[in-house]
Amino acid sequence: MKKILIAFWLTCLSAPTIAQDSKVKILDWKCGNEINGIAQNITSKDLKYVSITIPLYKADVKIGDARANVSGIDAGGKWAFKALVIDKNFDKCGAPKITAR
């Protein structure tokens, strides 16, 4: 029973939505005790700043955001991000929002 509950919990926290804006695409990410993944600059120009904000929910009520940022990603380059989570008392992640310039 414990294994079933753990599997159910991990399924609830999974984040299958792959985010993209006109400059950065999240290739893969996971939502759990740690929120991490791979983002790629999909332009032919270097980016000076990239930020990813992931809303966190508990019982469908937003309780905060997880954030990751980097000072730059080269043209076509990839970034292994790990979002900072202050309140780990969440049961679901929302779709990431990407800011890139």
pTM for this prediction: 0.79
User: What tens-digit pLDDT sequence spans the chain (101 residues)?
Assistant: 444 444 444 444 444 456 777 899 999 999 998 999 999 999 999 999 999 999 999 999 999 999 999 999 999 999 999 999 988 899 999 999 999 99
Here the CATH number for the domain that contains residue 12 is: 2.60.40
Cα–Cα distance for residue pair 32/11, rounded to 1 Å: 9
Domain that holds residue 54: 2-100
- Residue 33 exposed, middle or buried by CB count within 10 Å (0-12, 13-18, 19+): exposed
* C-alpha atoms less than 13 angstroms from C-alpha of 82 in its C-beta half-sphere: 3
- Residue 88 exposed, middle or buried by CB count within 10 Å (0-12, 13-18, 19+): exposed
Total count of domains within the chain:
1
Residue 69's nearest CA partner among 95, 100, 34, 31 is 100
